[in-house]
Chains A and B, each alone.
Chain A
């Protein structure tokens, strides 16, 4: 039996918004759940995020956005991933992203959006169930 795959996850915080508590907590929770986590800090542009995701050969990218800029940023990340032939990378997100925006984001190909108050174990379960083993 082949060893169980270790997922590689990029947690990124696009834009200039400074609320990084959620991103850091999620990064640590995923890491404690046995995943390899790359956390990039604030001020990441969609270009930087996509390049890091490809260079680091990650399975998924989690974007934390609390500024309200989520629609613009997710659209740009999804477009860049597609252009670079990396649409197989799962993109999920969290932050102050209102429920009304979830369906349009899903339509862009974004995976699950987690609202404030999410139990980090829910995110772990989601990734384990969604990512190909």
Chain B
């Protein structure tokens, strides 16, 4: 058969016949009534009643899909995927003082979790000590309180940090620079070389400047610089650590749609790559360690296609722009968290079903690790029961459903391949738009990103309020009396515990050493050096996170983002 008679995977005459027959069928179909005026994906792409080979007629199997572990990685980043090793069950945990969270970590590991996913309390994430007047109400809330390296020692006491992978959900670079440094310093104190620890820190500058908007944060360029310091440090000295996890998940939670989620993380990642090259590193020195963090939201197929499209686009972008030799530099690896914003406070047990569907989309989309939300997400920090139920949801998915038995099982579906192509096109368009306005840092400085996120969040709310986006228990199938009363998790006392620790440490530590550690940080800022190189040493003098943040902000100043 000659190539001229073929188009993509199909014979041109067969394709023409299919197209003709589709038209005939559509005529019959259009005489029937449809249930909705328009059918779209959650992010607004039109969905047709039927997909056929004519829906992705140019698909070139070898070029566009390929094989698992091979470019363009649509079918997965590893050759064996879940047949070799299933995704890591990485349940988020953290609350109260480090002693308490250490217990929850051990509880989850004993229950079969494969790695740790540590989340920090609001003061830690924003760079404040527990006893700071700004932090008085939030210590221990939303995560574990970390003030000094002592808390880090307590947090990981008895946990083999050289044998399991650790994720530090540090969110903002202002938090990461201290917390990741404390983790590394703790590893050194335990006699573990930094090149032997495996894990990930979040460290995303958009989290500081565009997603959770507060006056007085680090300016975008300062925050971006801190993020890049960690990437550079790890490329040189902690080679198994993923120094950034571009937090598309959080952008999505703040209101982004599926294309924005991917386009914004990619714009962010591309900016980091440019900066690393400017600093003299080679693409293969750090690109294999850039990692991504995505949401799994309600639209099952849109989410699956989002992951597949993201892998293909990333692989091609990196190949074309940076020409890496290592194939791993082009493989997009990601963690998924099921969408918290999709869960309801009403009839909370329904969230178990929602999160199970979300997690299944993540697994069918080839995620490397997954967190499933607790069903009480919209009510409080997860209880032991809701944490365990979430973990069991993953285990049921992994062991009972057998979706792990073959790789990328939805490939070749006319709908899935068509939607994967469309998602890729939309993401590419948005990425080009960001680049045309000067890249991600500029888009943050100008408030472009803030406006985009805020607009999408409002659109979504209008969709729910008009009933266009059905949410069970919110705009349909409501109940007047809640049939199930969820237990509310009470955060253990934190402020008093942390205040006492800080008071003791400030009295006990060598004041001269502490001051000279802070001076080192200041001097490093002044000479535009790599802060993490200094910080891993400085935190050993038991300086607190708040002291470090104040020193850094003292040099970079603060920024008031636009409040949309």
Contact = CB atoms under 8 A, between A and B. Distances in A.
A41 B141 contact: no
A96 B345 contact: yes
Interface in A7-62: 14-21, 24-25, 28-29, 39-43, 45
B457 A24 contact: yes
A85 interface: no
Given A21-B457, A117-B473, A40 B345 contact: no
A98 B142 contact: no
Contacts of B138: 15-17, 67, 69
B483 to A, nearest CB: 14
A18 B122 contact: yes
A100 interface: yes
A121 B465 contact: yes
A43 B208 CA distance: 12
Central interface residue in B216, B379, B380, B563, by most chain A CB within 10 Å: B563
Nearest to B482: A99
Contact of A68 (B123, B341, B380, B464): B380
A104 interface: no
A67 B488 contact: no
A103 to B, nearest CB: 14
A20 B475 CA distance: 22
Nearest to B491: A68
A17 B142 contact: yes
Contacts, number: 109
B411 interface: no
A68 to B, nearest CB: 5
Contacts of B465: 119-121
A115 interface: yes
Interface string B453-470: 010011001001100000
A117 B488 contact: no
B378 interface: yes
B137 A41 contact: no
B254 A21 contact: yes
Given A24-B454, A117-B474, A67 B253 contact: no
B216 A43 contact: yes
Given A15-B137, A41-B213, A96-B379, A20 B458 contact: no
Contacts of B409: none
B212 A20 contact: yes
B173 to A, nearest CB: 14
B142 A116 contact: no
A20 B380 CA distance: 16
Contacts of A76: 137
B216 A21 contact: no
A29 B460 CA distance: 12
A16 B128 contact: yes
B379 A17 contact: no
A10 to B, nearest CB: 12
Interface in A82-133: 96, 98, 100, 115-117, 119-121
A39 B563 CA distance: 7
Nearest to B208: A18
A112 B347 CA distance: 21
A72 interface: yes
Interface of A is mostly: loop
Interface in B244-295: 253-255
A80 interface: no
Contacts of B212: 18-20, 42
B213 A73 contact: no
A42 B214 contact: yes
Nearest to A72: B137
B254 A43 contact: no
Contact of B564 (A24, A29, A68, A120): A24
B211 interface: yes
A117 B471 CA distance: 9
Contacts of B464: 119
Nearest to A69: B137
Contacts of B345: 96, 115-117
B381 interface: yes
Interface string B69-102: 0000000000000000000000000000000000
B463 to A, nearest CB: 12
A123 to B, nearest CB: 11
A19 B457 CA distance: 12
Central interface residue in A69, A76, A121, by most chain B CB within 10 Å: A69
A110 B457 CA distance: 27
A40 B215 CA distance: 8
Nearest to A28: B458
B480 to A, nearest CB: 13
A113 to B, nearest CB: 12
Contact of B134 (A24, A43, A121): A43
A115 B348 CA distance: 13
B335 interface: no
Contacts of B346: 115, 117
Interface in B384-402: none
B191 interface: no
A16 B134 contact: yes
A114 to B, nearest CB: 11
B344 interface: yes
Interface in B481-533: 488, 491
Interface in B113-142: 122-123, 125-126, 128, 133-138, 141-142
Given A16-B122, A40-B563, A67 B255 contact: no
A21 B380 CA distance: 17
Contacts of B255: 21, 24-25
Interface in B211-225: 211-216
B473 to A, nearest CB: 7
19 contacts: A16-B138, A17-B141, A17-B142, A18-B125, A20-B213, A21-B341, A24-B454, A24-B564, A25-B457, A29-B458, A41-B563, A42-B212, A43-B215, A45-B133, A96-B380, A98-B380, A117-B473, A119-B464, A121-B465
Query: Closest 7 CB pairs between A and B?
Result: A18-B212, A42-B214, A69-B137, A16-B122, A43-B214, A67-B141, A117-B474
Given A21-B254, A100-B488, A117-B471, 7 more contacts: A17-B142, A39-B563, A41-B561, A42-B212, A43-B215, A96-B378, A119-B475
